[in-house]
Every structure is written in C-alpha cells, then in structure tokens.
Amino acid sequence: MYFVFIDLALDDQAQELRAYLKGLGAEISTEKSPKGIEDDLHKIIGVCDTCFKDAPEPEIESVLNGIVSMLVTIPLERAENLVLAFCEKLTKATGQHLKMVTLRVMWLLFQSLDETSPMRYHVYFHLVQIARSVDQMKYVFKDVIHLKSQFATCPPSNEQMQKLLRLLHEALLASKNSEQASKVMVELLGTYTTENASQAREDAQRCILAALADPKTFLLDPLLALKPVRFLEGELIHDLLSVFVSEKLLVYQQFYQNHKEFVNGLGLNHEQNMKKMRLLTFMQLAEDNPEMTFQKLQEELQLKPEEVEPFVIDVLKTRLVRARMDQSAQKVHISSTMHRTFGQPQWLQLRDILQTWKQNVVGVQEGMSAIVKPKIEAKK
C-alpha cells in the first residue's frame, strides 16, 4: 500500500505517518503530540528509517516525500533542526537502490525550500554526499557558475562554501570528472585572501597534485597566480609545479633524480609524469619551430625511432596541437599549438597577429573598392 499525504491536513498526515511507522515496528506512539506538529515531526523523523528495512522502495519514497511536504510548511526558525535531522537519516541509508530513493527525496527537499532559506546549503551538502556514494554527481552538479547561482539569494558563509567545494572536489574526482574537479579546486583556492592564504596549504597542495596527475590537464600556468599556491613558493611542491608549467623533459628528469622519494611520496606516477612532460615539451617546441624533424623529436623527447609517429598521433588526439606528419621526409609540420604559458610575450604576439589581420582586411577592402567603384561610375 502506497501513501500520498500531500492532500491531508498536517495533523492527520502526522497521525498517518505515526501509525504507518508503528506498524513497521517503530517505537512511536500513534497519538498526535500535544506539543504540536514540530514535535510530531521530531518523533517521526527519529524513526523514519524503520521503513528502510522491509518496505518496498516506492512506498519508502512516498513516506519520505510525505515528510518533506510537512517540513516545508514549518517556519524556518523552527525547522532548522528538523531538516538537519532528516538529512542525517537519509545519508545513513545503505544499498544502491535505497540510496537512489534518498537521493531523489533529498533533491525534492532542496527544490522545495525557499531560495532565501539558509537551509538549502545544508541540504545540498548532504545531497552531494549521497550523490557521491551512488556515482550520480551529474544529477546534482553542473558547473561552478550554476552552483553559485543556486545560492545567489542566500550565499553561504566563506567557510561553508570552502567546505562544500572541498566535498565537491573529492566527489568529482571519484566520479572521474577531473575537468570539473579542477575548476572546483581553483574556485576553492580563490576564496582565500592574502591574509589567510597560509591556511589553504593543504588545499593548494591537493590542487597541484590533482592537476599534475590529471592526464587531461595541460594548462597549468594559472595555478601559479593563486594566492595559496604562491604561498608555497620555495617548497619542492611549488618547484615541481613550475617544472610542469614551463620547463622541458630533461629538467623534470633532473628534478626526479634529485627528489625521487618526494615525487613518489606524493603518489604521482613517474611514467605518467614522463608522458605528460613529453607532450608539454612538444608543445613548447612547436611554439618556436613550425617544422621539426623526427630526429629532433627523438633527441628532445628521448624517443626511439619507432616511437615518434605513435607519439605525434597521441599529441594530435589531444587537439592541443594542429600538425601533419610527412613520413617520407621524416618531418612534422606545425599549424598551431596551445601555449603552455600566456604572459606578456604571448600577448605581444597576439597583438602582432591581430594587427596583421587588420592590415590584410583593409587591403582587401581597398582592393574591392578599386574594382567596384569604376563599375558604379560607369553605370551612372
């Protein structure tokens, strides 16, 4: 038997829930509380997990949705502890199917709360915890911009947002969404100021390690501008990041030989680091060399002759570099490449390119005018 409580008066709904849970063996009276509906809800929430044991999933969801429909009618100042207690119960559910039920119920609660309610933050935090446990992060998180928009009318405190961003980072990494995890971590580090950057030490290290270990992250230069990362200057972790930002393969190898225990202790895979540094070195070479011989690539990237072509193919798959191979001439012709760093030299180069384009467009316009104008005058 499935229950729909939404059309009942609150007192009747509470009594129905009490009777239902009592029937499942919960230690709860079937009588309404003389203290009012909040005390009813307090008692009901305290034993609502009784239905997790034997009731069918649709029935469980119906019961929990009934509790949600009651919670959202309670004034905010009296509902905080009730909402938190309900969230705690839902996060303790076990089993994939039951957790999916609680995920949907928690999402309903989040959507049902007024946008100005500070409780939305607490509900969302528990929602992420459940979503992570059932690998459903795509269900609750789109991107950082959307996240901030959901709390625009009632922003969490800075400490609350930091706590949420840490949880999101861990959850996104667990769900293999390294791109969004990196963006969340950068957002987290951006919440620190110069005054409290020293407190972000662990977050900054976690950010660096995640970026270095991610096989899809190649633009690392922006990390150096983050205040908590700058606070690590002079330490080996910052030196290692700087190698990945702007140095070549040989420099990484030297760093590894000098600090092998440190790199391995970070949990980084040396072979994966080598693979990434080869690609980054190729990008750097491509910036200054529109044409490279296979021999040069063998020397710079420490590749065997038979490894050059597969390596270039792997580079092209990343779409970081546009190029074509000439196997007969044993050369690679570069069309364009993403810059590893983007500082003043790159801005000046971009300015020169735009100025050249502007001059070319003006030349085309003048040429077209020279052709069209005589024809117009002839018609006259």
Q: What is the pLDDT of residue 337?
A: 86
Residue 110 confidence (pLDDT) above 80: yes
Specify the range with the lowest mean pLDDT, choosing from 1-5, 17-21, 167-171, 199-203.
1-5
Q: What is the pLDDT of residue 218?
A: 87
Cα angle vertex 221, ends 217, 223, to 5°? 85
Residue pLDDT, tens place only, 320-331: 899 999 999 999
Q: What is the largest CA-CA distance in the chain?
A: 101
DSSP letter string, 237-286: HHHHHHHHHH--HHHHHHHHHHSHHHHHHTT--HHHHHHHHHHHHHHHHH
Average pLDDT over residues 301-329: 92
pTM to 2 decimals? 0.76
Residue 132 confidence (pLDDT) above 80: yes
CATH code reported for the domain at 1-134: 1.25.40
Reading the block at residue 270, the tokens are 């040396």
Rg (CA), the chain: 30
Residue pLDDT, tens place only, 153-201: 999 999 999 999 999 999 998 998 888 998 999 899 988 887 787 778 8
Question: Is the sign of the CA dihedral 209, 172, 220, 216 positive or negative?
Answer: positive
Q: How far is the C-alpha of 173 from the C-alpha of 162, rounded, in Å?
A: 17
Percent of residues, the chain, with pLDDT higher than 70:
92
Q: What is the pLDDT of residue 225?
A: 87
Residue pLDDT, tens place only, 235-244: 999 999 999 9
Average pLDDT over residues 284-298: 92
Phi-psi category of residue 32: left, alpha or beta, with phi > 0 → left and psi -120 to 50 → alpha: beta
Question: Is the sign of the CA dihedral 230, 232, 234, 239 positive or negative?
Answer: negative
Q: How far is the C-alpha of 3 from the C-alpha of 134, rounded, in Å?
A: 26
Q: How far is the C-alpha of 48 from the C-alpha of 70, rounded, in Å?
A: 14
Residue pLDDT, tens place only, 256-272: 999 999 999 999 999 99
Residue pLDDT, tens place only, 325-376: 999 999 999 998 888 765 555 545 556 667 777 777 777 777 777 676 665 6
Q: What is the pLDDT of residue 4?
A: 42
Residue 2 confidence (pLDDT) above 50: no
